[in-house]
Structure 1
Amino acid sequence: MRKRHGPDHVTRMIRHLQRVHQHEMNRLLQQYDIYPGQPPLMFTLDREPGRSQAELARELDIKPATLTIMLNRMEKNGYVRRETDSQDQRVSRIYLTDKGQAAVGEIRESLQTLENRAMDGFSDDEVLLLKGMLARIRDNMKSRSEDEQTT
Protein backbone atom coordinates (compact mmCIF):
# COMPACT_ATOMS: atom_id res chain seq x y z
CA MET A 1 0.00 0.00 0.00
CA ARG A 2 1.28 3.46 -0.91
CA LYS A 3 2.03 5.67 2.07
CA ARG A 4 0.18 8.96 2.02
CA HIS A 5 1.65 12.08 3.53
CA GLY A 6 0.71 15.70 3.70
CA PRO A 7 -2.64 17.18 2.73
CA ASP A 8 -3.89 13.98 1.04
CA HIS A 9 -3.37 11.88 4.18
CA VAL A 10 -6.77 10.25 4.75
CA THR A 11 -6.95 10.76 8.50
CA ARG A 12 -5.92 14.39 8.05
CA MET A 13 -8.76 14.82 5.56
CA ILE A 14 -11.18 13.17 8.01
CA ARG A 15 -10.06 15.50 10.82
CA HIS A 16 -10.47 18.53 8.57
CA LEU A 17 -13.90 17.36 7.42
CA GLN A 18 -14.94 16.83 11.05
CA ARG A 19 -13.89 20.39 11.94
CA VAL A 20 -15.82 21.86 8.98
CA HIS A 21 -18.86 19.73 9.84
CA GLN A 22 -18.66 20.75 13.51
CA HIS A 23 -18.46 24.43 12.57
CA GLU A 24 -21.50 24.15 10.28
CA MET A 25 -23.46 22.14 12.83
CA ASN A 26 -22.69 24.73 15.53
CA ARG A 27 -23.90 27.46 13.20
CA LEU A 28 -27.15 25.61 12.47
CA LEU A 29 -27.84 24.70 16.11
CA GLN A 30 -26.93 28.12 17.51
CA GLN A 31 -30.41 29.50 16.79
CA TYR A 32 -31.94 26.88 19.10
CA ASP A 33 -29.39 27.36 21.92
CA ILE A 34 -28.56 23.68 21.50
CA TYR A 35 -25.03 22.28 21.73
CA PRO A 36 -23.75 19.67 19.23
CA GLY A 37 -23.90 16.73 21.67
CA GLN A 38 -27.53 17.40 22.56
CA PRO A 39 -29.44 16.41 19.36
CA PRO A 40 -28.77 12.65 19.80
CA LEU A 41 -30.17 12.94 23.34
CA MET A 42 -33.21 14.82 22.08
CA PHE A 43 -33.80 12.27 19.30
CA THR A 44 -33.59 9.42 21.82
CA LEU A 45 -36.09 11.13 24.14
CA ASP A 46 -38.37 11.80 21.17
CA ARG A 47 -38.35 8.06 20.32
CA GLU A 48 -38.45 6.82 23.90
CA PRO A 49 -39.73 9.39 26.41
CA GLY A 50 -39.19 8.78 30.10
CA ARG A 51 -35.81 7.11 29.93
CA SER A 52 -33.72 7.22 33.10
CA GLN A 53 -30.44 9.10 33.22
CA ALA A 54 -28.55 5.82 33.61
CA GLU A 55 -30.28 4.32 30.55
CA LEU A 56 -29.55 7.42 28.49
CA ALA A 57 -25.88 7.54 29.50
CA ARG A 58 -25.47 3.87 28.59
CA GLU A 59 -27.29 4.16 25.26
CA LEU A 60 -25.53 7.34 24.20
CA ASP A 61 -22.17 6.07 25.49
CA ILE A 62 -21.46 9.14 27.58
CA LYS A 63 -20.40 9.50 31.19
CA PRO A 64 -23.26 10.03 33.66
CA ALA A 65 -21.65 13.28 34.87
CA THR A 66 -21.51 14.59 31.28
CA LEU A 67 -25.16 13.68 30.80
CA THR A 68 -26.10 15.51 34.01
CA ILE A 69 -24.42 18.68 32.73
CA MET A 70 -26.23 18.33 29.39
CA LEU A 71 -29.58 17.78 31.08
CA ASN A 72 -29.08 20.70 33.48
CA ARG A 73 -28.36 23.00 30.55
CA MET A 74 -31.31 21.67 28.52
CA GLU A 75 -33.65 21.90 31.52
CA LYS A 76 -32.55 25.51 32.12
CA ASN A 77 -33.31 26.28 28.44
CA GLY A 78 -36.73 24.63 28.68
CA TYR A 79 -36.10 21.62 26.42
CA VAL A 80 -36.41 18.80 28.97
CA ARG A 81 -38.01 18.10 32.30
CA ARG A 82 -37.20 15.53 34.97
CA GLU A 83 -39.81 13.52 36.82
CA THR A 84 -39.21 11.20 39.74
CA ASP A 85 -39.94 7.57 38.91
CA SER A 86 -43.14 6.43 40.62
CA GLN A 87 -41.60 3.02 41.44
CA ASP A 88 -38.17 4.21 42.57
CA GLN A 89 -37.75 7.69 44.04
CA ARG A 90 -33.99 7.56 43.36
CA VAL A 91 -34.55 7.47 39.58
CA SER A 92 -35.29 10.51 37.42
CA ARG A 93 -37.19 10.01 34.19
CA ILE A 94 -36.41 12.49 31.43
CA TYR A 95 -38.97 13.93 29.01
CA LEU A 96 -38.88 16.53 26.27
CA THR A 97 -41.02 19.59 27.02
CA ASP A 98 -43.34 21.04 24.37
CA LYS A 99 -40.50 23.40 23.43
CA GLY A 100 -38.15 20.40 23.15
CA GLN A 101 -40.65 18.49 21.00
CA ALA A 102 -41.00 21.46 18.65
CA ALA A 103 -37.24 21.88 18.40
CA VAL A 104 -36.63 18.21 17.52
CA GLY A 105 -38.33 18.51 14.14
CA GLU A 106 -36.53 21.73 13.30
CA ILE A 107 -33.17 20.31 14.38
CA ARG A 108 -33.74 17.16 12.30
CA GLU A 109 -34.47 19.37 9.30
CA SER A 110 -31.33 21.44 9.89
CA LEU A 111 -29.15 18.36 10.22
CA GLN A 112 -30.74 16.83 7.10
CA THR A 113 -29.93 20.06 5.22
CA LEU A 114 -26.31 19.70 6.33
CA GLU A 115 -26.27 16.04 5.23
CA ASN A 116 -27.77 16.93 1.85
CA ARG A 117 -25.20 19.66 1.32
CA ALA A 118 -22.36 17.30 2.20
CA MET A 119 -23.63 14.63 -0.20
CA ASP A 120 -24.49 17.02 -3.04
CA GLY A 121 -23.34 15.58 -6.36
CA PHE A 122 -22.91 12.04 -5.03
CA SER A 123 -24.99 9.23 -6.50
CA ASP A 124 -26.82 6.83 -4.16
CA ASP A 125 -24.21 4.17 -4.99
CA GLU A 126 -21.37 6.54 -4.15
CA VAL A 127 -22.97 7.41 -0.81
CA LEU A 128 -23.31 3.68 0.01
CA LEU A 129 -19.70 3.08 -1.01
CA LEU A 130 -18.50 6.01 1.13
CA LYS A 131 -20.49 4.79 4.13
CA GLY A 132 -18.97 1.34 3.73
CA MET A 133 -15.44 2.71 3.53
CA LEU A 134 -15.94 4.97 6.55
CA ALA A 135 -17.35 2.04 8.53
CA ARG A 136 -14.25 0.01 7.64
CA ILE A 137 -11.96 2.83 8.78
CA ARG A 138 -13.93 3.08 12.05
CA ASP A 139 -13.74 -0.70 12.56
CA ASN A 140 -10.00 -0.71 11.80
CA MET A 141 -9.43 2.03 14.34
CA LYS A 142 -11.63 0.37 16.99
CA SER A 143 -10.08 -3.08 16.57
CA ARG A 144 -6.58 -1.61 16.79
CA SER A 145 -7.56 0.30 19.92
CA GLU A 146 -9.10 -2.82 21.47
CA ASP A 147 -5.99 -4.88 20.60
CA GLU A 148 -3.79 -2.34 22.38
CA GLN A 149 -6.01 -2.40 25.47
CA THR A 150 -5.73 -6.20 25.79
CA THR A 151 -1.95 -6.34 25.46
Structure 2
Amino acid sequence: MTTGRATPAEDACTNAPPLTALSGPVSHAVSRVARLHRTAAGKALKGVDLYPGQELLMMHLWDRGAVRQTELIRALDLDPSTVTKMLQRLEQTGHVRRRPDPADRRAVLVEATDESCALHTAVRDAWGSLEEQTLAGLDPAERTELLRLLAKVEENLCRETADCPDRC
Protein backbone atom coordinates (compact mmCIF):
# COMPACT_ATOMS: atom_id res chain seq x y z
CA MET A 1 0.00 0.00 0.00
CA THR A 2 1.36 3.38 -0.93
CA THR A 3 0.60 6.56 0.95
CA GLY A 4 1.34 8.87 -1.95
CA ARG A 5 4.02 10.49 0.18
CA ALA A 6 7.71 10.24 -0.72
CA THR A 7 9.96 8.25 1.54
CA PRO A 8 12.64 10.13 3.49
CA ALA A 9 15.26 8.84 1.02
CA GLU A 10 13.24 10.17 -1.92
CA ASP A 11 12.75 13.52 -0.16
CA ALA A 12 16.52 13.85 0.26
CA CYS A 13 16.98 13.69 -3.50
CA THR A 14 14.46 16.33 -4.52
CA ASN A 15 16.46 19.40 -3.41
CA ALA A 16 13.21 20.69 -1.97
CA PRO A 17 13.70 22.96 1.04
CA PRO A 18 12.70 21.63 4.43
CA LEU A 19 9.03 22.31 5.13
CA THR A 20 9.95 24.75 7.89
CA ALA A 21 12.07 26.76 5.43
CA LEU A 22 9.05 27.39 3.19
CA SER A 23 8.32 30.48 5.28
CA GLY A 24 11.79 31.83 4.42
CA PRO A 25 12.81 30.66 0.95
CA VAL A 26 15.27 33.51 0.37
CA SER A 27 16.91 32.99 3.75
CA HIS A 28 17.21 29.29 2.98
CA ALA A 29 18.73 30.04 -0.44
CA VAL A 30 21.21 32.53 1.04
CA SER A 31 22.25 29.96 3.63
CA ARG A 32 22.81 27.29 0.97
CA VAL A 33 24.71 29.67 -1.31
CA ALA A 34 26.91 30.91 1.57
CA ARG A 35 27.80 27.33 2.51
CA LEU A 36 28.63 26.38 -1.08
CA HIS A 37 30.62 29.58 -1.60
CA ARG A 38 32.69 28.89 1.52
CA THR A 39 33.36 25.34 0.27
CA ALA A 40 34.42 26.64 -3.15
CA ALA A 41 36.62 29.28 -1.46
CA GLY A 42 38.22 26.55 0.61
CA LYS A 43 39.10 24.62 -2.53
CA ALA A 44 40.49 27.73 -4.23
CA LEU A 45 42.57 28.68 -1.19
CA LYS A 46 43.88 25.18 -0.58
CA GLY A 47 46.30 25.74 -3.46
CA VAL A 48 47.82 28.69 -1.59
CA ASP A 49 47.88 26.90 1.79
CA LEU A 50 45.17 29.00 3.43
CA TYR A 51 41.99 28.09 5.23
CA PRO A 52 38.78 30.03 4.46
CA GLY A 53 38.74 33.24 6.46
CA GLN A 54 42.51 33.61 6.62
CA GLU A 55 42.48 35.43 3.30
CA LEU A 56 40.04 38.00 4.74
CA LEU A 57 42.40 38.59 7.64
CA MET A 58 45.32 39.03 5.23
CA MET A 59 43.28 41.38 3.00
CA HIS A 60 42.62 43.54 6.06
CA LEU A 61 46.34 43.67 6.88
CA TRP A 62 47.39 44.35 3.29
CA ASP A 63 44.95 47.24 3.07
CA ARG A 64 45.48 48.78 6.50
CA GLY A 65 49.03 47.87 7.53
CA ALA A 66 49.81 47.07 11.15
CA VAL A 67 46.67 46.95 13.31
CA ARG A 68 45.86 45.85 16.82
CA GLN A 69 44.71 42.29 17.21
CA THR A 70 41.49 43.60 18.77
CA GLU A 71 40.77 45.51 15.53
CA LEU A 72 41.09 42.27 13.54
CA ILE A 73 38.70 40.52 15.91
CA ARG A 74 36.17 43.33 15.49
CA ALA A 75 36.63 43.68 11.72
CA LEU A 76 36.34 39.95 11.05
CA ASP A 77 33.53 39.55 13.59
CA LEU A 78 35.08 36.37 14.93
CA ASP A 79 35.71 34.92 18.36
CA PRO A 80 39.08 36.07 19.77
CA SER A 81 40.28 32.47 20.08
CA THR A 82 39.53 31.88 16.39
CA VAL A 83 41.55 34.94 15.35
CA THR A 84 44.39 33.89 17.67
CA LYS A 85 44.50 30.45 16.04
CA MET A 86 44.42 32.01 12.56
CA LEU A 87 47.29 34.31 13.51
CA GLN A 88 49.32 31.44 14.96
CA ARG A 89 49.02 29.51 11.70
CA LEU A 90 49.80 32.56 9.57
CA GLU A 91 52.76 33.41 11.80
CA GLN A 92 54.12 29.84 11.48
CA THR A 93 54.00 30.16 7.70
CA GLY A 94 55.75 33.54 7.81
CA HIS A 95 52.83 35.62 6.51
CA VAL A 96 52.21 37.73 9.62
CA ARG A 97 54.22 39.11 12.51
CA ARG A 98 52.91 40.06 15.94
CA ARG A 99 54.65 42.55 18.23
CA PRO A 100 53.78 44.69 21.23
CA ASP A 101 52.16 48.02 20.39
CA PRO A 102 54.69 50.72 21.31
CA ALA A 103 51.80 53.03 22.29
CA ASP A 104 50.34 50.42 24.68
CA ARG A 105 52.52 47.47 25.63
CA ARG A 106 49.44 45.47 26.66
CA ALA A 107 48.13 45.55 23.09
CA VAL A 108 49.46 43.46 20.21
CA LEU A 109 50.06 44.80 16.72
CA VAL A 110 49.71 42.45 13.77
CA GLU A 111 51.19 43.13 10.35
CA ALA A 112 51.68 41.33 7.06
CA THR A 113 55.28 40.38 6.35
CA ASP A 114 57.22 41.08 3.18
CA GLU A 115 57.02 37.32 2.58
CA SER A 116 53.24 37.62 2.25
CA CYS A 117 53.57 39.56 -1.03
CA ALA A 118 53.53 36.33 -3.06
CA LEU A 119 50.48 35.24 -1.06
CA HIS A 120 48.78 38.53 -1.95
CA THR A 121 48.98 37.73 -5.66
CA ALA A 122 47.84 34.14 -5.11
CA VAL A 123 44.83 35.26 -3.03
CA ARG A 124 43.86 37.85 -5.66
CA ASP A 125 44.02 35.16 -8.36
CA ALA A 126 42.07 32.63 -6.24
CA TRP A 127 39.35 35.21 -5.57
CA GLY A 128 39.23 36.10 -9.25
CA SER A 129 38.69 32.44 -10.14
CA LEU A 130 36.10 32.08 -7.39
CA GLU A 131 34.30 35.17 -8.71
CA GLU A 132 34.13 33.74 -12.21
CA GLN A 133 32.96 30.35 -10.92
CA THR A 134 30.33 32.02 -8.74
CA LEU A 135 28.98 34.28 -11.49
CA ALA A 136 29.28 31.91 -14.46
CA GLY A 137 26.30 32.30 -16.77
CA LEU A 138 25.40 35.80 -15.52
CA ASP A 139 25.79 38.65 -18.01
CA PRO A 140 27.37 41.95 -16.87
CA ALA A 141 23.99 43.55 -16.15
CA GLU A 142 22.92 40.57 -14.01
CA ARG A 143 26.22 40.68 -12.13
CA THR A 144 25.71 44.38 -11.40
CA GLU A 145 22.12 43.78 -10.30
CA LEU A 146 23.12 40.86 -8.05
CA LEU A 147 25.76 43.01 -6.37
CA ARG A 148 23.23 45.83 -5.90
CA LEU A 149 20.64 43.47 -4.39
CA LEU A 150 23.17 41.80 -2.08
CA ALA A 151 24.25 45.24 -0.84
CA LYS A 152 20.61 46.01 0.00
CA VAL A 153 20.21 42.69 1.80
CA GLU A 154 23.43 43.35 3.73
CA GLU A 155 22.21 46.82 4.71
CA ASN A 156 18.88 45.40 5.90
CA LEU A 157 20.65 42.84 8.05
CA CYS A 158 23.10 45.42 9.39
CA ARG A 159 20.25 47.73 10.36
CA GLU A 160 18.29 44.90 11.94
CA THR A 161 21.19 43.45 13.92
CA ALA A 162 22.95 46.78 14.59
CA ASP A 163 26.11 44.72 14.20
CA CYS A 164 28.01 45.57 11.06
CA PRO A 165 31.72 44.82 11.24
CA ASP A 166 34.12 46.66 8.97
CA ARG A 167 33.88 45.34 5.46
CA CYS A 168 36.96 43.29 4.66
Give the alignment's TM-score, normalised by structure 1. 0.78
Give the unaligned 5+ runs of structure 2: 1-15, 163-168
Q: Does 1:27 align with 2:55?
A: no
Give the unaligned 5+ runs of structure 1: 1-5, 147-151
Corresponding residue to 1:77 among 53, 69, 93? 93
User: Matched residue of 2:106: which SS?
Assistant: coil
Corresponding residue to 2:137 among 97, 117, 121? 121
Counterpart amino acid of residue 18 in structure 1? A
Aligned residues: 141
Residue of structure 2 equivalent to 1:103: 119
Using CA pairs under 8 Å that are at least 6 residues apart, name the structure with larger relative contact order, 1 or 2.
2
Residue of structure 2 equivalent to 1:54: 70
**What is the CA distance between 1:71 and its match in structure 2?**
0.8
In the TM superposition, what are the counterparts of 1:5-20 in structure 2 within 5 Å? Answer: 6-7=16-17, 9-20=25-36
- The alignment-based identity, stated in percent, is 32
Residue of structure 2 equivalent to 1:94: 110
Residue pair 2:48, 2:122 contacting (<8 A) in 1 also: no
Could you report, residue by residue, the CA deviation over 1:59-95 in whole angstroms, capped at 9, with x for unpaired residues?
2222333211211121122211112222322222111
RMSD: 2.2
Distance 1:27 1:113 in 2: 11
User: Matched residue of 2:105: which SS?
Assistant: coil
Distance 1:93 1:13 in 2: 39
Mean Cα deviation higher: 40-49 or 129-138? 129-138
Could you report, residue by residue, the CA deviation over 1:127-147 in whole angstroms, capped at 9, with x for unpaired residues?
12112222333444455556x
Counterpart amino acid of residue 105 in structure 2? Q
Distance 1:36 1:85 in 2: 28
**What is the CA distance between 1:109 and its match in structure 2?**
1.1
User: Matched residue of 1:89: which SS?
Assistant: strand
Mean Cα deviation higher: 35-44 or 86-95? 86-95
Distance 1:49 1:70 in 2: 17
Q: CA 1:78/1:129 → structure 2, altered by over 3 Å: closer, same or farther?
A: same
Counterpart amino acid of residue 97 in structure 1? T
Distance 2:91 2:53 in 1: 15
